[in-house]
Amino acid sequence: DGYVGLPRTFLWNPNFNEVIDTSDYGGEGPFAIGFSNASQGDGWLGTFYHSVQYGVSQNLDKIDRFIVTDANGDPTKQISDIQDLLEQDIDLLLVNPATADALDPILGRTMRRGVPVVTVARRVESDDSFVSFVTASDTALARMSATWMAEILDGKGRIVLLPGLAGASPAEMRLQAAKEVFAQFPGIEIVDTQYTGWSPANGRQIMAAIIQREGVGNIDGVWADSGLQGSGSVEAFMGAGVTGTDIPPHTGGDLNGMYQLAHENGFPFAGIDYTPSIGAAAVNLAVDVLEGTPVPQRLDVNFQVVISPGHETRSISADVLLPDYVAMDQPGELIMGSGIPNYDPNSFSVDLPN
Amino acid sequence: MNQNIFVRRFAVLCILIVLISLATVVQTSFLSPSNIQDILTQAAPLALVVLGQAFVILVRGLDLSVASLMASIAVMATAFNATSNAMIPVIFVVAIVVSAFVGLVNGFLVTKRNVSPFLATLAMMIVLQGIRFYYTQGAPSGSLPDGFRFLGTGRIMGIPINVLAFALCFCILGWLLHKSSFGRKVYITGGNPTAANLVGIYADRVTIICYVICSVMAGIAGLFLVGFVGTVDNWVGRGYELDAIVACVIGGVALTGGKGTLSGAAVGALILILIFNIVIILGLPVQAQLIIKGVIIIVAATLFSKASRA
Amino acid sequence: MIRLEGITKVFPGVKSLDNVSFEAVAGEVHALLGENGAGKSTLIKTMAGAYTADEGTIYFDGNKRSWTTPKESKDAGIHIIYQELMLFPELSVAENIFLGQAPRTRLRTIDYKAMYESANETLDKLGHHLDSRVLVKDLSVADQQMVEIAKALVGETKLLVLDEPTAVISGRESELLFERIKLLRDEGVCIIYISHRLEEIFSIADRVTVLKDGQYVGTYDVAELDRDRLVGMMVGRKVKDIFPPKKDPPAKAAPVLTARNLCVSPKVNDVSFDLYAGEILGLAGLVGAGRSEVAHALFGSISRSDGGVTLGGEGFDAPSPRESIDRGLGFLTEDRKGEGLIMSLDVSANVTAPALPEFTTSLGLDRAHETQAAKDEIKRFRVAVPGPEYGVNKLSGGNQQKILFGRWTRTCRRVLILDEPTRGIDVGTKVEIYEIIRKLADEGLGVLLISSELPEIVGLCTRVLVMRDGIITGEVSGAEINEETIMKFATAAKEPMVQSVFLGEAT
Amino acid sequence: MKLTSVNQSLRRLQDPSLIIVILLLVIVVITGSVLSDRFGTMRNFMNVLEQAAGLGFASIGQALVVIVGGIDLSIGAVVTASTILMAAVVDLHPALMIPMIFGTLLFGTMIGFLNGYVTIRTGVHPLIVTLGTASILNGAVLIYTLQPTGSVPYWFEEFAYGRFWSVPVSGLVMLLCFVMVWVFLRYFETGRAFYAVGGSPDAAHLSGIQCNKITLIAYSASGFFAALAGAYFVSRTSVGDPRVGDPITLSSITPVILGGLILGGGKGNIFGVLLGVFLISLLSNLLNYMNVSTFIQWVIQGLIIIVAVSIYVHKGRKL
Ligand SMILES: Nc1ncnc2c1ncn2[C@@H]1O[C@H](COP(=O)(O)OP(=O)(O)OP(=O)(O)O)[C@@H](O)[C@H]1O
Ligand SMILES: Nc1ncnc2c1ncn2[C@@H]1O[C@H](COP(=O)(O)OP(=O)(O)OP(=O)(O)O)[C@@H](O)[C@H]1O
Ligand SMILES: [Mg+2]
Ligand SMILES: [Mg+2]
């Protein structure tokens, strides 16, 4: 079920996506892969890491060493981590950069050392600092959710933008994409834009304050780039006594809790997961690189557009309807789109190389 | 008690009044009951932490581990994976016991091992953080009984529950500190530990109890914050440790110990939350609150150091 | 050399200097005399710029000076040995001696070799040989005092002030110190010397200036003075008017407190004595003799390494201060601000501190009751204070001390230990306190009086124990009680002298 | 001179806290070499030296302030602000690279001076003052930019990554700083005065030491070294990052304490701090080699602080 066609970004992206010849990296397995993770600081990152592990467990025959470091969000520590990984003669470096720019120098050096780099979730600036970049396309995701928001409001209304972690490239790209879209609709007035650090807590506190300022009735929509803070926003409205369908339209996927809130209250909602499954996809691509198979310089992973019943718009139709997607029996903290069969973060475990 | 404290109270109130009037000027509806309710609801969790922190600072201590403890307790609460509200009391009891233990360790390190409070609690902060993340592997995923939502956001006769909880704690601790003989022992210990011992007060015991109180308050605050936020994440209450200390200082609780009142500390907490709201109301970026906060800390602290010198 | 005119210095509560004028010339040893709290230290701290006088002017080397920091006076050639040790425990002896004026190498760096050598020389000159490389924190109090003195002998000094330098040292060391002082005087250095030991004054001072309660009494040639006149001027009245008449304790009552072979390693060894109800037992000795340790050990605020104590006939081993208080022991400590009062609290809180249980009801502290108690003590000891709600930090030293008396007499039923009860207190208050002590004894308390002020000991006590280096070197009673005998024991050789009194029970 | 230094080093070894940190270092190195054949190599130690530089610079500053009895919680903020300042300006005028290095260091020094000045003037606890400064600086930075910004010329990367006969340049600079500070503290009157002021301010004042001057120097130095750390991070990441400093503030205290300095001041040897820096860096390096999750790393770090500090119980509890 859901959308199974070619990735939309691949279809729509006007730029050519060149295919990288990886024959110089090609060799005989089994391989040693180093994974430098930016952090496991929030729910999404946790599931993403599980997806990476899942990917590795699917390639046990080809991967015999898999070394992980975690920079808990500190780019300077991540640089040291990468140096430590390189010292352990890894064949390939898989990296989820803490910030786009800061890792450019060290990744450039890694490539020049002859160790291929695959970046996932976030890319780095210069093209010669990595072989391939695996993403679920922040741009597409944000453009679609923003377009939906503008259209569900018939192109006019006062809306609030709740981007994620200030400075994190996904958050910035999504915000920029969303703004592009809203710029197309002169009737849409952006009342306020506040970063939330992808934290339900901040989402709620900030939204509560904004509601105080604007007054309950005067906010027509909330565009959040993820359900993590989106759920916080919905909570804020409920806290202010607005419930059910009175809650203005919201966007933001990822968090099962968000889907649950939308399903229970029935307000117009469009959720698009930035699927953590890119983790597994990245591992598979890494193996291709090591085997010398040509890979796209940018690999887009599909995402599903989930919309509450009866709220599809002119240009945005649902891949899945909310009731078919939400997992009411699962905890609200569950992150959707892990791509792992009957995934349960608590019990999740796969066997990995030493 | 003596007029220094008057000077203090007065100074704090001035800051508070200035902020409120500023807000009301910008937004006339600021003092509307609903708005006040909202602000109090937001302030409650921090205020709970501040109450505890005040005790520790009064005995010349400092507790950097409170925020980390809040999050850890929150995570622990989800670990029950409880669905029925009947579990809520159980969760609270366990939370209080665990927090108390943490406070005990802090107090022990500070008194018996003579570790400076800053380090002891810093280390505790890091350790708790590590355990917490190791348990959750970064992403907490248990679930809480719905009852928690009610605790965090619900109201009884229009008064937010967590505000009621704060009021309750404030009365109990206020009595303890300002009316009971234990409170007097706290002031004596903080004012002059040596003298305390020589008048037959077990200064170490008093100090340890203060750390326990602090941690327990943090644990409770953690649960209410989770209830308020709705979902648990590993950083619940991040930054509260410094905010709590700052609130105390703004509220006139001197880091040198033995001076200050609980109400002052509570007002300090209120001021911090107000700063946050006012920044939003003025339509400034959230970051601006940092600047205002910084200025107010230094100004307030200066006022008091002058006051206490006079 | 130095001249002060109309100096007035007021501290919250005390006017410690009141329009004092003073002059000392090059090449003389000028003694500064006065009771505790007379204002001697304050005066020299004003000279040094450590305090800035509220009124008055300072002339040094003929021209008017108004120092704002000690550095300025130091640079001008004034060196002061303060009463409190000014040493840095984490630095070596040599570094302490040469702080700020260490020998330099060509690269302007500290020349440690030279520094250690000349430090050793300086100490040798004082006849005090210790390795100048060791850290000061590892030294005994007496050694530290010698280091403090050595500081004065290096560098260019025009005016040298010594504030009670011999308080913790004695015998040979003092002699050598005096030789040094005389040498310096002959080199034309102006020396101001503060001491409570009159015989020292007579042996080295040329002139003496007397202060009393912060006021200038007069300046005299030592030659034309005798001891009694001096004392008279210091105290301002006849000795017999100061101290209440002595009374012997009720005969052959059982001792209320006995100590046997009390030890506190390393400072106190084998201290044994009996204390009878109604008597005032003096404990004399030099600062650092270990008297406070004895007191603390009795009270349980430091742990005894050995020995047996009984209170009111029952065993009293390893008590906590709480237990001591509950069993009727009171301890008025040496350091009023550091160990006694809680400066941040008000009078009533300070008075009731040891007796909180008594004021606790099911509803918490009974403030009314507390206030009443405080009022009573204020009345009883005639404390000059607006009321119980008043902060103790704003009281004068004497009134603070009375508050502490109030505190302890409320709880204390058997034995009251007084450690330097009149330190830094004006003479008027002293007289009152002496009467209080007398009265307490008459009411049946056993009083153990620790004091460095021999007149006090002599004037009040019916029996006196003398300590030196942690052991009791003698006991004097009745007519033998006079400053000379006591000083003899206080500076006696280390081995304990036979104490007939205890031979029976002790063994 | 020889005798002296021998005696000195002996005395230093008597300091229990130094023994502890050395012991821990040995343990880490041995376990590392046993568990991983790649850990014990010169290459790796050189890497660690390179990685340690940032923490090293920050800790020197922190140590100087701690010795005079203070504490500096604004170090992280100064680091951050410095990276932004440098990267942002140089991004616009690449020619200004060299001047901006000094400009940044000056900036840091000034902030430090400000901290010291306010502390002296107001008598407010340095913890509060520096916390305030930090808050203000961070606010200003985050208002200016939320995401990493700016850039520096490629050659500047050599400061962080460059090798001088396989010895990392940054590491060398750090070692140099430690040596210079040690010489200053040990062989200059002003340096000794640091210990006097930290040990007993009143006595220092009465002994004619200008406590205020010393305090100002200490805080200014702290600011300077924070800025230097900032420069290092810029050259390592080639951007100014509005968050890069956040972890530094507290982590700069750990090595200082492990090195045997005590909050409250007056005591300690700067080389102890260096050992502390190595310990922390080697530990994180080792745990990476052992593929241990960062979460465990936290636990271990916290426990090490507790153990180290509480084994060496010192008199007088101080903030
Ligand atoms: N820093 C201070 N603050 C408040 N009062 C002070 C201070 N220093 C001295 N005093 C008071 O001033 C008076 C004189 O003190 P000072 O130390 O000069 O006496 P002194 O002659 O040196 O006595 P002693 O012989 O015991 O040293 C005393 O009453 C003392 O309590
Ligand atoms: N001259 C001094 N300067 C500073 N501290 C001292 C001096 N003499 C003693 N001390 C300290 O003061 C405390 C009390 O001194 P101690 O008990 O050793 O001798 P003491 O007989 O009690 O002297 P005191 O006359 O002060 O009571 C001890 O901790 C001792 O180290
Ligand atoms: Mg004196
Ligand atoms: Mg004593």
Q: Is C46 on the interface with B (CB under 8 A)?
A: no
Inter-chain CB proximity B181 and C341 less than 8 Å: no
pLDDT beyond 80 at D314: no
Residue of C nearest to D183 (CA): C109
Pairing label, strands D167-168, D163-164: antiparallel
Residues of B in contact with D315 (CB under 8 A): 114
- Give the amino acid at B186: V
pLDDT at B138: 67
Give the range among A111-115, B75-79, B210-214, C407-411 with minimum mean pLDDT: B75-79
Do C235 and C254 lie in a common domain?
no
**So what's the pLDDT on residue A36?**
93
8 A C-beta contact, residue A206 and residue A194: yes
Mean per-residue pLDDT, B176-185: 93
Dig out the tokens for A87 from the structure: 């010292």
CB contact under 8 A, C116 and D4: yes
Of A47, A210, A231, the CB nearest to B280: A210
User: Based on the domain organization, do C138 and C269 belong to the same domain?
Assistant: no
Question: CA B118, CA B104: separation in Å to the nearest integer?
Answer: 15
Q: How many domains does chain C have?
A: 3
Q: Which residues of chain A have pLDDT under 50?
A: none
Q: Is residue C337 part of a domain?
A: no
Distances (CA, A) of C370 to B176, B178, C408: 17, 14, 15
Please give, rounded to a whole number of angstroms, the shortest distance from the CA of C307 to a CA of chain D: 27
Answer whether B208's CB lies under 8 Å from B108's CB.
yes
C354 touches chain B (CB under 8 A): yes
- Inter-residue contact C401 to C425 (CB < 8 Å): yes
Nearest-by-Cβ selection for B38 from A40, A212, A232: A212
pLDDT at C504 over 60: no
Helix (H, G, I), strand (E, B) or coil at C32: strand
Q: How far apart are CA A233 and CA A207, in angstroms?
A: 5
Q: How many other C-beta atoms are found inside a 10 Å radius of the C-beta of residue C15?
A: 17
- Out of B6-10, B163-167, B262-266, pick the least confident: B6-10
- Non-local (6+) Cβ contacts of C432 within 8 A are C381, C382, C402
Contacting residues of C for D7, CB less than 8 Å apart? 133
CA of C435 to the centre of ligand 1 (A): 23
The dihedral through the CA atoms of D49, D50, D52, D54 has a sign that is positive
> Which pLDDT score, from 0 to 100, does residue B4 have?
56
C224 and C280 fall within a common domain: no
Do D and A have ≥3 inter-chain CB pairs under 8 A? yes
One DSSP character per residue, A225-289 reads SSHHHHHHHHHHHHHTT--GGGSPPEE--SBHHHHHHHHHH---EEEE---TTHHHHHHHHHHHH
* The total number of residues written for chain B in this structure: 310
pLDDT one-digit tens code per residue, D68-108: 999 999 999 999 999 999 999 998 888 888 999 999 999 99
Q: Are C419 and C331 in contact (CB under 8 A)?
A: yes
State how far the Cα of A299 lies from the Cα of A282, in Å rounded to an integer. 8
- Residue C244: DSSP 8-state: P
SS3 category, A77:
helix
Task: Give a yes or no: residue C29 inside a domain.
Answer: yes
Give the model's pLDDT for residue D50: 93
Q: What is the pLDDT of residue C239?
A: 59
Give the per-residue pLDDT at C195: 84
Q: Each residue of B16-60: pLDDT tens digit?
A: 888 888 888 887 878 888 778 878 888 888 999 999 999 999 999
* Contact of chains A and B by CB distance (3 or more pairs under 8 angstroms): yes
Verify that C308 and C445 share a domain, yes or no. Answer: yes
- The CATH number of residue C78's host domain is 3.40.50.300
pLDDT of residue C506: 33
Distance CA A39, CA B138 (A): 8
| pLDDT at B153 > cutoff 80 | no
C-alpha count within 13 angstroms, C-beta hemisphere, residue A191: 22
Placement of tokens 């941690």 in the chain: B215
Angle between helix axes B203-229 and B87-111 (nearest 10 degrees) is 140
pLDDT of residue B289: 85
Contact across the interface for B122 and D250, Cβ inside 8 Å: yes
**Residues with beta carbon inside 6 Å of ligand 2?**
C 84-85, 141, 167-168, 267, 285, 287-293, 334, 419-420, 450, 452
Q: What's CA A17's distance to the chain center, in Å?
A: 20
Residue C335 lies in a domain: no
Contact present, C and A (at least 3 Cβ pairs less than 8 Å): no
Tokens of A109: 């050096």
- C206 in the same domain as C86: yes
Q: Give the ranges where chain A is alpha helix by DSSP (H).
A: 8-12, 43-58, 75-87, 104-112, 138-152, 169-183, 200-214, 227-239, 256-265, 278-291, 322-325
Q: How confident is the model at residue D2 (pLDDT cuts 50, 70, 90)?
A: very low
Read off the pLDDT band of B9 (50, 70, 90). Answer: low
Find residues 88-147 of chain B whose CB sits inside 8 Å of chain D. Answer: 109-110, 113-120, 122-127, 129-134, 137-138
- Using one digit for the tens of pLDDT, what is the confidence trace for C311-342? 888 888 878 999 999 999 999 998 888 889 99
The radius of gyration of chain D from alpha carbons, rounded to an integer in Å, stands at: 19
Same domain, C304 and C435: yes
Name all contacts of C377-384 with Cβ < 8 Å and 24+ positions apart. Answer: C377/C351, C377/C403, C377/C406, C377/C407, C377/C409, C377/C410, C378/C347, C378/C406, C380/C406, C381/C405, C381/C406, C381/C432, C381/C436, C382/C432, C383/C347
Give residue-wise pLDDT tens across range C24-36: 999 899 999 887 7
Structure tokens at C420: 């330097």
Closest approach of B227 to chain D, Cα-based (Å): 26
Instruction: Please state, as a whole number, how many other Cβ atoms lie within 10 Å of the Cβ of residue D250.
Output: 17
Ligand 1 atom showing the smallest separation from residue C43 Cα: 18
Distance CA A218, CA B29 (A): 14
pLDDT at C112 over 80: yes
Interface B–D counts its CB contacts (< 8 A) at 151
- Give the residue with greater pLDDT, C237 vs B270: B270
Please give the residue that has the higher pLDDT: either B121 or A124: B121
Q: What is the pLDDT of residue A166?
A: 77
Closest residue by Cα to residue D297 from A40, A348, A276: A40
- Structural domains of chain D, with CATH: 43-318 (1.10.3470)
DSSP string, B129-180: HHHHHHHHTT-------THHHHHHH-EETTEEHHHHHHHHHHHHHHHHHHTS
Whether C82 is covered by a domain: the verdict is yes
D172 backbone φψ class: left, alpha, beta (φ>0; ψ -120 to 50): alpha
State ipTM: 0.85
Chains interfacing with B (3 or more CB pairs < 8 Å): A, C, D
Tell me the CA–centroid distance for residue B98 and ligand 1, in Å. Answer: 51
pLDDT of D88: 92
Has residue D256 got a pLDDT over 70?
Answer: yes
Quick: pLDDT tens for C275-294: 988 889 999 988 778 898 99
| Judgement on whether residues C378 and C285 belong to the same structural domain of the protein | no
How far apart, in whole angstroms, are the C-alpha atoms of residue A278 and residue B208?
Answer: 50
* Chain B residue closest in CA terms to D142: B287
Report the DSSP pairing between strands C2-11 and C55-60.
antiparallel
Side-chain-facing half-sphere of C96: CA atoms under 13 Å: 31
- What's the confidence (pLDDT) of residue C474? 87
Does the predicted model carry a pTM greater than 0.90?
Answer: no
**Range of weakest confidence among B93-102, C372-381, D147-156:** D147-156
- At residue C237, the pLDDT reads 63
Quick one: C78 and C43 in the same domain?
A: yes
**CB contact (8 A) between residue C322 and residue B200:** yes
Q: C189 and C98, same structural domain? A: yes
Of A209, B285, A43, give the one whose Cα is nearest residue D146. Answer: B285
pLDDT at D46: 92
Per-residue pLDDT tens digits for D39-74: 888 888 999 999 999 999 999 999 999 999 999 999
**Residues spanned by the domain of C469:** 242-328+412-507
Residue of C72, C74, C79, C90 to mutate for D, most D C-beta atoms under 10 A: C90
- According to the model, what pLDDT value does residue D313 have? 56
Do residues C397 and C253 share a domain? no
Ligand at minimal distance from the CA of C271 is 2
Q: Which pLDDT score is estimated for D8?
A: 52
Q: What is the DSSP letter of D118?
A: H
Put simply, the answer to whether C70 touches D11 (Cβ < 8 Å) is no
- CB-based contact (8 Å) between B181 and chain A? no
Average pLDDT of chain B, as a whole number: 86
Residue C264 has pLDDT above 90, yes or no: no
- In the structure encoding, which two tokens stand for residue D63, read together? 């140590």
Q: How many CB atoms lie within 10 A of CB B204?
A: 18
C82 and C149 housed in the same domain: yes
Q: Which atom of ligand 1 is nearest to the CA of C425?
A: 29
Mutate to test the pocket of ligand 2, among C141, C168, C174, C194 (most ligand atoms within 8 A of CB): C141
Q: How far is the CA of C344 from the centre of ligand 2 (A)?
A: 25
3-state SS class at C351: helix
Report the chain A residue with the minimal C-alpha distance to residue B286: A194
Give per-residue pLDDT as tens, C129-176.
888 898 888 887 778 888 888 888 887 888 999 988 877 676 677 888
Out of C372, C393, C410, a domain closes at C410
- Which long-range contacts does D36-39 make (Cβ < 8 Å, 24+ apart)? D36/D286, D36/D289, D36/D290, D38/A87, D38/A88, D38/A89, D38/D289, D39/D285, D39/D286, D39/D289
pLDDT tens-digit series, residues D160-177: 888 888 899 999 999 999
Distance B293 CA to ligand 1 centre (A): 43
**Distance between D207 CA and the closest CA of chain C, angstroms:** 7
C10 and C132, same structural domain?
A: yes
More confident residue, B4 or C423: C423
- Expressed in angstroms and rounded, the spacing between residue C418 Cα and the centre of ligand 4 is 10
pLDDT of residue B139: 67
Q: Do D238 and A102 touch (CB under 8 A)?
A: yes
Q: What is the DSSP string of C404-449?
A: HHHHHHHH-SSEEEEESTTTT--HHHHHHHHHHHHHHHHTT-EEEE
For residue A221, list its beta bridge partners: A159
Strand partners, A224: A162
C487 found inside a domain:
yes
Helix (H, G, I), strand (E, B) or coil at A112: helix
Would you say the CB of residue C490 lies under 6 angstroms from ligand 1? no
pLDDT of B299 strictly over 50? yes
**What stretch of H or E contains D48?**
helix D42-67
Nearest 5°: CA angle at C219, between C215 and C220?
145
Q: What's the C5 CA to ligand 1 centre distance in angstroms?
A: 20
